[in-house]
Amino acid sequence: MAAGRGLRGQRLLLCVCGGIAAYKAAELVRRLRDAGAQVQVAMTGNAQRFVGAQTFQALSGLPVRTSLWDDAAEAAMGHIELARWADRVVVAPATANTIARLAHGLADDLVSTLCLATTAPITLCPAMNHRMWLHPATQANVALLRERGATVIGPDEGPLAEGESGPGRLSEPAAIVAALEAM
Ligand SMILES: Cc1cc2nc3c(=O)[nH]c(=O)nc-3n(C[C@H](O)[C@H](O)[C@H](O)COP(=O)(O)O)c2cc1C
């Protein structure tokens, strides 16, 4: 079967950020696994306000990392090992805040530290209000990350959560998987 060949056996570290589209990351995990990838999920603190870690644990079949300061997790697979484990890091949804923090090389939470510590390619799947996306600060941050080798999938244009419309929707999970398979 051709579908999924590109991701079969790949170790994907999915970093979920605190945006309304975090619920779509659950479907993304399922589709990535269907495509044959191993998926390990790390969440920002704010992502956990939108979706519970248990959802991702059940879907990924692996413990979910939610904090840098987790004694048990650090004793098992520490954040540096996790950063080394990944063949690719996917940040979905990538919030304006996390994009800015990655562009500036911050490492003050689990997701930013993993992204700084990895040498694996990073793919961002932005999702935010269209004004946040079009803001020159966000555009400059994305351009900087692209220059450093990050790939960007989306965002799509269409209706947004606040009843507005424009570029800012998270790309559909199936489209994200197809784009990752093509990489
Ligand atoms: C209801 C709600 C929805 C939000 N949706 C988004 C979003 O889609 N994209 C985004 O960039 N920020 C969104 N935010 C703002 C982020 O949650 C905020 O910037 C936060 O600091 C992001 O943290 P993180 O990047 O560490 O996950 C939303 C906030 C709230 C309260």
Looking at the domain assignment, is residue 6 inside a domain? no
Looking at the domain assignment, is residue 162 inside a domain? yes
* Ligand 1 atom at shortest distance from the alpha carbon of 21: 8
The helix or strand, by DSSP H or E, that contains position 87, with its residue range, turns out to be: none
Give the residue, out of 16, 20, 129, 132, with the most ligand 1 atoms within 8 A of its beta carbon, to mutate for a pocket test: 20
Token pair 């694996």 in the structure block, residue: 120
Beta strands 156-159 and 165-169, pairing class: antiparallel
**How confident is the model over 117-173, as pLDDT tens digits?**
999 999 999 999 999 999 999 999 999 999 999 999 999 998 888 788 899 999 999
Q: In the predicted model, is pLDDT for residue 49 greater than 80? A: yes
Average confidence (pLDDT) over 81-89: 95
CATH code of the domain containing 58: 3.40.50.1950
Specify the pLDDT at position 3.
46
112 CB near ligand 1 (under 6 Å): no
106 CB near ligand 1 (under 6 Å): no
**111 touches 43 (CB < 8 A):** yes
Q: In the predicted model, is pLDDT for residue 4 greater than 60? A: no
Distance 21 CA to ligand 1 centre (A): 9
Neighbours of 2 (CB within 10 A): 6
Looking at the domain assignment, is residue 2 inside a domain? no
For residue 173, the cross-strand partners are: none
Looking at the domain assignment, is residue 4 inside a domain? no
Looking at the domain assignment, is residue 1 inside a domain? no
Specify the pLDDT at position 163.
82
Q: In the predicted model, is pLDDT for residue 48 greater than 80? A: yes
Give the residue, out of 14, 97, 98, 169, with the most ligand 1 atoms within 8 A of its beta carbon, to mutate for a pocket test: 97
Distance 97 CA to ligand 1 centre (A): 7
Kindly state the percentage of the chain with pLDDT values over 90: 85
More confident residue, 149 or 4: 149
Residue 55 structure tokens: 């959802």
Domain residues for the domain of 15 are: 11-182
Looking at the domain assignment, is residue 3 inside a domain? no
Looking at the domain assignment, is residue 138 inside a domain? yes
Kindly state the percentage of the chain with pLDDT values over 70: 97
Specify the pLDDT at position 5.
65
Please, which pLDDT band fits residue 1 given cuts at 50, 70 and 90? very low
Give the residue, out of 46, 131, 170, with the most ligand 1 atoms within 8 A of its beta carbon, to mutate for a pocket test: 46
Looking at the domain assignment, is residue 91 inside a domain? yes
Average confidence (pLDDT) over 57-64: 97
Helix, strand, or coil here: 111? Answer: helix
The total domain count for the chain is: 1
Residue 79 CA to residue 67 CA, distance in Å, equals 10
Specify the pLDDT at position 154.
98
For residue 39, the cross-strand partners are: 12
Helix, strand, or coil here: 165? Answer: strand
